[in-house]
Chain A
Amino acid sequence: MRWLKPAAFAAALLPLAWLLWRAGFGSLGVNPVETINRFLGDWALRFLLIALAVTPVRQWTGWSALARLRRMMGLFAFFYVCLHLASYVGIDLFFDWAALWADVLKRNFITLGMIAVLLLVPLALTSTNAMIRRLGGARWRRLHLLVFPASILGVVHFWMMVKADIREPLVYAVLLAVLLGWRLWGFARRAQRA
């Protein structure tokens, strides 16, 4: 299973490679700025769901090696979140800080997106082995519960952004509900037994 982590790492870079490929060949469509921003936002959300799926899928399949991918997928989620934010601030708004601040204060979907980013920052910062040791397992686990509100905010952020056709955000919402519901159910069962 030595190939698992490098393979997952390479696969997680494919979306970015695809975006750069299209940029290089000028095939980002009529509105490249919109294409880039949406693409990165889509993948940020997808990697959040992938990271959240690692543990349930491991439990369902019994494939214990998957556990080694959890941190990497979480960090890739943060990576795409950062790229999404950078494309919004740097490309869409072209570093117009006043417009950014107005957006954050006035636009609910942007406010929620920003909160989600802030919630993810401490998780990324405490993802090293040294930080886990420093915090201690219990505290580290408690801190990393923040991934749940962050991913809920991420889906709500997408939902509120669309104009009328909610089918796509609905898919993300259902998947997230399954992943969170599975954990809640497990939690309830353990609580019952205790």
Chain B
Amino acid sequence: MLIRPAADLRDHDVTDQALYLDRRRFLALGAAAGTLLAAGRGLAATTGDDAPTPFEAVTTYNNYYEFGTAKEDPAVSAPSRLKLAPWSVAVDGECAKPGTVALDDLIKPLKPEERLYRMRCVEGWSMVIPWQGVPLGQVLKRFEPNSKAKYVEFTTLADKAQMPGLRVPVLDWPYVEGLRLDEAMHPLTLLATGLYGKDLLAQNGAPLRLVVPWKYGFKSIKSIVRIRFSETQPMNSWQKANRREYGFYSNVNPDVDHPRWSQASERRIGEFRRRKTLMFNGYADQVASLYAGMDLRVDY
């Protein structure tokens, strides 16, 4: 399992900036040379380690369409626009103790944890990110979900004054995501408030975001303002936008392709060759049992 306490994450685990730049230059050279090379064989997956992706990459290559659809848009426009405090989360639906809770009151009672997780985007790239946060299950428990609560729905802030991307109807705003209750209560599921030992930056979904490491990245909803327990399966934004391409579960699965591209491999940011994508993003031992008996080609 790829969970490590903070003490294990030393400076040398993180790629040195100079080395990183060097590697990029090497990549560029390789790219130029690669086009000339006619040789080359099958995709021997690089089965390297899971070294954390450089902080610079994690914080400048983001999908956060509320701040623009280009990868570099959120880092440029989110930090100066997104007002992070005061922040509160409205919790309602099928639970005994609904209410609106200030961020501090939601997180502070719990012990922060460090998790080093792989993050696999549905687009075919991946990162390794050291998060800080609290297990979502512990947060949800205090609202005492009732017996009708089968699912949890999350909503991102949608404020036109702060988010220029909302002017474009790329998705049906606000951004909505959902989990089955047992997925939400799973110990791997994290409600993150920081990465690399610092508070989350706006472009990474500050001040509070979900991290579900065995699902494609878009399930890990950013800047959460509402959590709702529901009896019926929530309609998440990407499923609503294109039901054929994006399902409710969206578990990382190398055997179920996106209709327009293969999910069998991925490019780890900072690496040149693609690597093989792992079932449930490498967390099968912990989460496969959640889907026992299900046909993952149907429930993709």
B41-82, CB < 8 A from A:
41-43, 56-57, 60-61, 65, 69, 71-72
Instruction: Indicate if the CB atoms of B27 and A32 lie closer than 8 Å.
Output: yes
> Would you call A83 and B69 a contact (CB within 8 A)?
no
| CB-based nearest B residue for A32 | B27
B123 lies within 8 A of A163 (CB): yes
Q: Known contacts A91-B34, A95-B41, A164-B241: does B28 contact A26 (CB below 8 Å)?
A: yes
Return the CB mask of A84-105 against B: 1 if under 8 Å, else 0. Answer: 0011001101111111001100
Q: How large is the interface on B (under 10, 10 to 19, 20 to 34, 35 or more residues)?
A: 35 or more
Residue contact B42 to A30, C-beta cutoff 8 Å: no
* Known contacts A34-B125, A91-B31, A94-B273: A102-B69 contact under CB 8 Å: no
Q: Does B171 lie at the interface of the complex (its beta carbon under 8 Å from any beta carbon of A)?
A: yes
**In chain B between 262 and 291, which residues have their CB closer than 8 angstroms to a CB of chain A?**
262, 264-265, 267, 269, 272-274
A44 to chain B, nearest CB (A): 14
A99 partner, pick from B29, B265, B272, beta carbons under 8 A: B265
> Are B257 and A106 within 8 A (Cβ)?
yes
Q: Contacts A106-B257, A164-B65; is A91 near B35 (CB within 8 Å)?
A: yes
Given contacts A31-B71, A87-B31, A87-B35, contact A94 B274 (CB under 8 A): yes
Assembled-state Cα–Cα distance A20/B267 (Å): 22
Contacts of B43 in A (CB 8 A): 93-94, 96, 98-99
Provide the bound-state CA to CA distance between A60 and B233, in Å: 58
Task: State which residues 80-135 of A face B: CB under 8 Å.
Answer: 83, 86-87, 90-91, 93-99, 102-103, 106-109
Interface presence of A24 (CB below 8 A): yes
Q: What A residues does B242 contact at CB under 8 A? A: 164
Within 8 A of A (CB), among B236-261: 241-242, 257, 260-261
Q: Which residues of A contact B40 (CB under 8 A)?
A: 90, 94-96
Partner of A31, one of B32, B61, B65: B61
Give 1 or 0 for each of B205-236: 1 = CB within 8 Å of chain A CB: 00000000000000000000000000000000
Q: Is the CB of A99 within 8 A of B262?
A: yes
Q: Does A155 contact B (CB under 8 A)?
A: no
Is B148 an interface position by the 8 A CB rule? Answer: no
In the bound complex, CA of A94 to CA of B260 (Å): 19
Where the two chains meet, the residues of A that have a C-beta atom closer than 8 Å to any C-beta of B are 20, 22-26, 28-34, 36, 83, 86-87, 90-91, 93-99, 102-103, 106-109, 160-161, 163-165, 167
Given contacts A24-B25, A91-B31, 15 further A-B contacts (CB under 8 A): A22-B28, A26-B21, A26-B25, A29-B72, A30-B269, A31-B71, A31-B125, A34-B267, A94-B272, A96-B274, A98-B43, A99-B43, A107-B260, A163-B123, A164-B69
22 A-B residue pairs with CB within 8 Å: A24-B25, A26-B21, A29-B72, A30-B71, A31-B61, A31-B267, A32-B24, A32-B27, A32-B28, A32-B31, A33-B267, A34-B125, A36-B31, A91-B31, A91-B34, A95-B38, A95-B40, A98-B42, A99-B262, A102-B262, A160-B260, A165-B170
